[in-house]
Amino acid sequence: MAENKTLAHLSEQIQQLDIEDSFRLLCDLHPGKIVFSTSLGQEDQVITQLIAKNNLPVQIFTLDTGRLFYETYDLLAKTVVKYNLDIKTYYPNTESVETFVLEKGINSFYESVENRKSCCYIRKVEPLKRALAGNEIWVTGLRAEQSANRQKMRKLEWDPANQIIKFNPLLDWTMDQVLDYIHKHHIPYNPLHDKGFISIGCAPCTRAIEPHEDPRAGRWWWEASHKECGLHEQAPAIEK
């Protein structure tokens, strides 16, 4: 109960601050325990630039599933050089991948939701848990506009699945705000975005979307789901 009230109070403080001051407050309160997970999406590139510009003590990491687009790897290399950052890469457990592919097939995620979620767990969720272990704040590039599920999230919330506080600094930003910031600050981004790929994940699981489609429609398009892989569980309400 006391922890919930503390988080609720901190959440109220964050609401009154701009992004840079919010980061500084959290860095002061949780020194050496803040990590940012980047998938190299446009929102994540904005946050990376903010961290680099302000020399914030935030460790940046990314997940290499082994099935990413070439353009994503190229952008990672460019980002590291441009901002002179150490971005740690986490990989899936080799034995788990080998067993899954042997038993289910290299593209078995197309065959059932169960197979797809198993693949996502091995390639993304389990490595994420390793990356978050021992930390106290997890920074993400989530925005409320991205999906109905994400509209229920808050800038600062408790993530029960990973037992960590999640900080979503761009939650209330619009896509136009993200793009304006990218162009204003000459931030490198994935060229696939200009070809209709709004949300970019693994190559076999991502397609371009039409102008009228939901931003997450290009992810796992062959199945009727809420378009999440398991990285971001809905957090319970904060008690006040």
Q: Which residues are catalytic?
A: 229
Separation between Cα atoms, residue 187 and residue 79, nearest integer Å: 9
Q: What residue has token string 């957090």?
A: 235
Separation between Cα atoms, residue 54 and residue 67, nearest integer Å: 32
Q: Which two structure tokens, joined as six digits, stand for 105?
A: 């097939």
β-strands 137-139, 34-37 pairing:
parallel
Q: What residue has token string 């994940």?
A: 201
Cβ neighbourhood burial of 202 (10 Å; 0-12, 13-18, 19+): buried
